Amino acid sequence: MNNQKQQRVSGILLHPTSLPSPYGIGDLGQAAYDFIDFLKAARQHLWQTLPLTPTGFGDSPYQSFSAFAGQPLLISPKHLVELGFLNESELSDCPTGDEELVDYGAIIPWKTKILNLAFSRFSECASSELFAEYETFIQKHSFWLEDYALYMSCKDMHEGREWLAWEAEYRTPTPETKASLKEFLQKDMNYYYFVQFIFYKEWFALKEYANKNEVKIIGDIPLFVSLDSADVWANQELFQLDSEGYPTVVAGVPPDYFSETGQLWGNPLYNWDRQKSDGYQWWISRVRHQLHLSDYLRIDHFRGLESYWAIPYGEETAINGEWIPGPGADLFTVIEDALGKNLPIIAEDLGIITPEVEALRDQFGFPGMRILQFGFDSEEESTFLPHQFTTPNCVCYTGTHDNNTTKGWYASASEYSRDKVRYYMNTDGYNIHWDFLRTCLGTIATYAIVPLQDVLGIGEEGRMNTPGIGVNNWAWRYKKHALSQGLAEGLARITRIYGR
């Protein structure tokens, strides 16, 4: 991305699950459109989400059953009523719970139930035009959809267990076995086709509305994929697995800002030699697909493409790993050859970053990330402080989904850090979230992104994720009337002052 002549823009980080909804979890219904209206009124031109894929263990969007599929939980129940697949009364038993938190344990079975009910009526209620659209969708997305639907159908057969716990014939099926499985499980696969069709129909309608209102979407992909996924099961040769399918090494990061023992993610690592031998086709498909879903693409843990932390499978922490060279420039050269130059990719360049990682980022013109909170955590000089920004080709954040909210961070920060903030921003800290927001928008960074929690002044209770802790994450939601006209006007005024 050559951003030297890019217009300065700003936006908000908000995952759709955090939208208000009467159905227990944020979805792609009316509240999503209302949020875009708020962005427009507030002069914001970017909406950054977390990965939109189906969540697996711990409800994390960074541990998904597919790198290509959409999250069924984001489908709007109201839309299913509008399509004639459900009656309004059939939504009355929704376990709404706390309007500020998602109760995944309650909402997943309920949403699955209504999606199954809608699917059962699809063949009877769908118009010929909608059914034709459905068949076109299946054909267009067959390169990932068929394996995903088959994987999830097999997973259902095995009571939700990951594929390593299946019988050998299911775990590593031959082409003949796969063909017979597809025939045997066709009805089950059709359900997954239907769910994905509805998700994509809703998402592309929403994206079109956003773009018409001059709002662009920043999508997000984790560098690594989940072991419990259609991607690994259907492409085992592309990963570092043993003959039984178990990883030989897994992903993570060494001890860092977030954890003294590092982060043991457990994702299988890519077999980059094998990926290279077929021209990185899987990666080309992935990036092309994601850039169809969004206008920009943030690659989480970008540094792992220069070199990655390989941890022997079975280790209990991430301490005992080693750095292994990744594909580096070779991968992006091939992707550019396939998709074009100046790709709208954002590099998440946080953590242990070396000159080699920076060189890879800069070679392709990808903007990196600057997190304001990090600039005040140490007595040392920091590249995260605005006066150290050396190029506008970066994205400035007050914090990310992995950080505490700014208000929560300030409340728990050391007295040194709080004092440093007060001097730096010339503030008494009373409205610290607005101080950070104003500082973020005032930097030379071409892009400025603020989590909605920091716009609203939410404390630690609004934190989206705590790295290294596998429970009670990804649940925060904002209340329906939180996005007032006054808030939009205030944000618009600050945005205009800083030339965004």
Tell me the pLDDT tens digit for each residue of 188-242. 999 999 999 999 999 999 999 999 999 999 999 999 999 999 999 999 999 999 9
Tell me the pLDDT tens digit for each residue of 94-133. 998 899 999 999 999 999 999 999 999 998 888 999 999 9
How far is the C-alpha of 221 from the C-alpha of 198, rounded, in Å?
21
Structural domain includes residue 182: no
Q: What is the mean pLDDT of the chain?
A: 96
How far is the C-alpha of 70 from the C-alpha of 371, rounded, in Å?
28
Return the pLDDT at 258: 65
- Give me Rg for the CA atoms of the chain: 23
Structural domain includes residue 168: no
Which residues are known catalytic residues?
Answer: 300, 348, 402
Rounded mean pLDDT, 124-148 = 95
Query: What confidence tier does 5 reach under pLDDT thresholds 50, 70, 90?
Result: low
| Sheet with 46-48, edge to edge strand ranges | 345-347, 296-300, 216-222, 46-48, 9-13, 447-451, 394-397, 368-371
Tell me the pLDDT tens digit for each residue of 30-53. 999 999 999 999 999 999 999 999
In the predicted structure, residue 66 carries a pLDDT above the cut 90? yes
Count the domains in the chain: 1
More confident residue, 261 or 220: 220
Question: CB-hemisphere CA count at 13 Å for 485?
Answer: 0
The phi-psi region of residue 25 (left if phi > 0; otherwise alpha if psi is between -120 and 50; otherwise beta) is beta
> Dmax over Cα atoms in the chain, in whole Å?
70
Query: What confidence tier does 56 reach under pLDDT thresholds 50, 70, 90?
Result: confident
Closest to 309 measured CA to CA, from 194, 404, 243, 223: 223
DSSP annotation string for 102-170: --HHHHHHHHHHHHHHHHHHHHHH--HHHHHHHHHHHHHTHHHHHHHHHHHHHHHHTTT--GGGS-HHH
Tell me the pLDDT tens digit for each residue of 443-481. 999 999 999 999 999 999 999 999 878 788 999 999 999
DSSP code for 476: B
Residue type for 480, please?
K
Give the residue numbers spanning the domain of 126. Answer: 9-137+214-228+253-258+270-307+321-497
Please, which residues have CB within 8 angstroms of residue 120's CB and are 6 or more apart in sequence? none
Structural domain includes residue 195: no
Rounded mean pLDDT, 429-435 = 97
DSSP annotation string for 262-283: -EEEEEEPB-HHHHHHTTTHHH
Return the pLDDT at 424: 98
* Sign for the pseudo-dihedral over CA of 344, 350, 355, 356: negative
Return the pLDDT at 259: 78
Structural domain includes residue 16: yes
> 24-28, 58-62, 247-251, 486-490: which range is least confident on average?
58-62
Tell me the pLDDT tens digit for each residue of 413-423. 999 999 999 99
Rounded mean pLDDT, 229-257 = 94
Structural domain includes residue 361: yes
Please, which residues have CB within 8 angstroms of residue 387's CB and are 6 or more apart in sequence? none
Q: What percent of the chain has pLDDT over 70?
A: 99
Rounded mean pLDDT, 348-352 = 91
Question: Do residues 301 and 222 make contact, with C-beta atoms less than 8 angstroms apart?
Answer: yes
Structural domain includes residue 177: no
More confident residue, 197 or 351: 197
As given in the structure block, the two tokens for residue 235 are 């492409």
Return the pLDDT at 2: 54
As given in the structure block, the two tokens for residue 55 are 């969540």
* Sign for the pseudo-dihedral over CA of 274, 277, 282, 284: positive
Question: Do residues 73 and 25 make contact, with C-beta atoms less than 8 angstroms apart?
Answer: yes
As given in the structure block, the two tokens for residue 114 are 């209504």
Structural domain includes residue 152: no
How far is the C-alpha of 406 from the C-alpha of 372, rounded, in Å?
9
Return the pLDDT at 352: 85
Determine how many CB atoms are found less than 10 A away from the CB of residue 257.
14
* For helices 175-184 and 142-157, angle between their N-to-C axes, nearest 10 degrees: 70
395: domain CATH number is: 3.20.20.80
Rounded mean pLDDT, 81-89 = 96
As given in the structure block, the two tokens for residue 37 are 């209206």
Structural domain includes residue 492: yes
Return the pLDDT at 223: 97
Q: How far is CA 8 from the centre of its chain?
A: 24
